[in-house]
Amino acid sequence: MSQQTQDTGRHYIDGEWTAGAGEETFESTNPATGRQLGAFHRGTPGDVERAVSAAETAFEGWRAMSYIDRAEVLWDVYHELRDRTDELGAVVTKECGKEISEGRADVVEAYHMVEWAAGNSRHPHGDVIPSEIASKDAYMRRRPRGVVGCITPWNFPVAIPFWHMAVTLVEGNTVVWKPAEQTPWCGQIVAEMMVDAGVPPGVFNMVQGFGDAGNAIVEDDRVDTVLFTGSAEVGHEIGAKLGGEPGREVALEMGGKNGIVITEHADMDLAVHAAVMSSFKTTGQRCVSSERLIVHSDVYEEFRSRFVDLAEDVAVGDPLGEDTFMGPVVDESQVEKFHRYNDLAREEGADVLVDRAELDDEEVPDGHEDGHWVGPFVYEVDYDPHLRCIHEEVFGPHVALIEYDGDIEDALAIHNDTRYGLAAAIVSEDYRQINHFRDHAEVGLAYANLPCIGAEVQLPFGGVKKSGKGAPSAREVIEAVTERTAWTVNNAEDVQMAQGLSAEITTGSDD
């Protein structure tokens, strides 16, 4: 464990590590073993209040620095993330349970994001825009919004904080960050990296804790932008609260009930591979994971038999083991939710094809009996717009096979019948089907002949419909953390107006 958590992990507010105002502490536990990893002070609304004040005070000084000087701080973080990828990847795996290649990939994705944001400081910002008047120069400029509140989830405990914070800081904003309560150790190490890199006091603040601390960020009017990645339930509340408030900006990315369409022209090797990756990687706990496989009747039998064989066999085990494909789910509430939805699918008439929901004792690795273990649960069901099991997000390895007849429009009608719209994939060798799907699938991210997971940081990442608003990530986060100014300069000595507007000032004495 890193040096700060030998005792109880603290917050980082106004350039200092602090236990904060509250009395309570909370534990981080390893989802694979149930063992405690460390204790952390639980942040209070008062701690958030102090952090926001510090961020507000630090803003003027930070924004006055050049882009390139601000980015220098981030370059140090980039190097530390690279140098410590294996170490921090193992912490990710221990704290959120995803298998070790995913733990490392989380850190790699984080430094890719930092690289993009810091590198962008040397790229052109804004545009030069022509004016109707030859003597005028017009520009589109950006300026930072001020204090940005970042609320991040446990499933990408290093990458997503940097989706939020890297561009935000380079653009000249200051930050108040609340890491997920399930992954405070990762939060602690990220904060230590910021401190090591020399981020000035108040520019970056971290408050550990739960929803009450997150809510204090949302409620504080001095927070100019709230970035949130997490559950639809919380995201919709934040959206409802801030959506109508002038002057406060929000970008939200929530989950999905993501689907993969496998057409009659699909390559079956690709289809099975894409579906297994999308449904079971991260034990189904990505917001882009797929819980619906919509398969044409011409290939349904073959797909079902191959997918089921792999789902029966896929390696669930110690997430630190290199041969593990699926680790545990993050906590007991996630296990319960998964079972609840498996029961619901049965009640709604699903035909269960794979039921590894409760792993056999011998499948649970030795010494891991107190982990939160589940395995794949796969069923087939006739499409019906009223079925909850194919409309509500489970966030686990709970997968529906839905057979369709007809053409790509019929697949799309099923695919788009969800309130969500985050990620999707189509598997087909027919470019017309692919292009039709590209143009009509109601999602923010889509793939052809690929899994629907694994987006790279230089792409916008966000959903449509109930999956999100804006993109609290990567390149596009810039829209939420900056304001655009249209700036026009007159190079002439007289005033000339566009649109043929008269610039003459007439007075009563003119005749």
Residues that bind ligand UN1 (CB under 6 A): 109, 155-156, 286-288, 453-455
| 92 contacts 157 by C-beta, under 8 angstroms | yes
Least separation in angstroms between CB 250 and ligand UN1:
18
The residue (of 120 and 155) whose beta carbon lies closer to ligand UN1 is 155
Is position 56 annotated as part of the catalytic site? no
The residue (of 300 and 395) whose beta carbon lies closer to ligand UN1 is 395
Q: How far apart are CA 505 and CA 482, in angstroms?
A: 37
How crowded is residue 491: how many other Cβ atoms within 10 Å of its Cβ?
Answer: 9
The residue (of 155 and 263) whose beta carbon lies closer to ligand UN1 is 155
Q: How far apart are CA 352 and CA 163, in angstroms?
A: 38
Task: Characterize 160-172 residue by residue with b for buried, 16 or more Cβ atoms within 10 angstroms of its Cβ, and e for exposed.
Answer: bbbbbbbbbbbbb
The residue (of 156 and 228) whose beta carbon lies closer to ligand UN1 is 156
Coil, helix or strand at residue 100: helix
Is position 287 annotated as part of the catalytic site? yes
Residue of 99, 171, 253, 393 with catalytic role: 253
Q: How far apart are CA 152 and CA 463, in angstroms?
A: 16
Q: What letter represents residue 368's amino acid?
A: H
Least separation in angstroms between CB 282 and ligand UN1:
8
Least separation in angstroms between CB 398 and ligand UN1:
16
Least separation in angstroms between CB 463 and ligand UN1:
10
Report the largest interatomic distance among the alpha carbons of the chain, rounded to a whole angstrom.
102
Identify the burial level of 410 via C-beta atoms within 10 angstroms of its C-beta, where 0-12 means exposed, 13-18 middle and 19 or more buried. middle
Q: Please report where in the chains the tokens 């002439």 appear, as a residue.
A: 492
The residue (of 200 and 454) whose beta carbon lies closer to ligand UN1 is 454
Structure tokens at 308: 């089921």
Structure tokens at 254: 């929530």
Least separation in angstroms between CB 160 and ligand UN1:
7
Residue of 96, 150, 186, 287 with catalytic role: 287
Assign 3-state DSSP to the chain and report helix, strand, coil percentages, each to 5: 40, 20, 40
Catalytically annotated residues: 253, 287
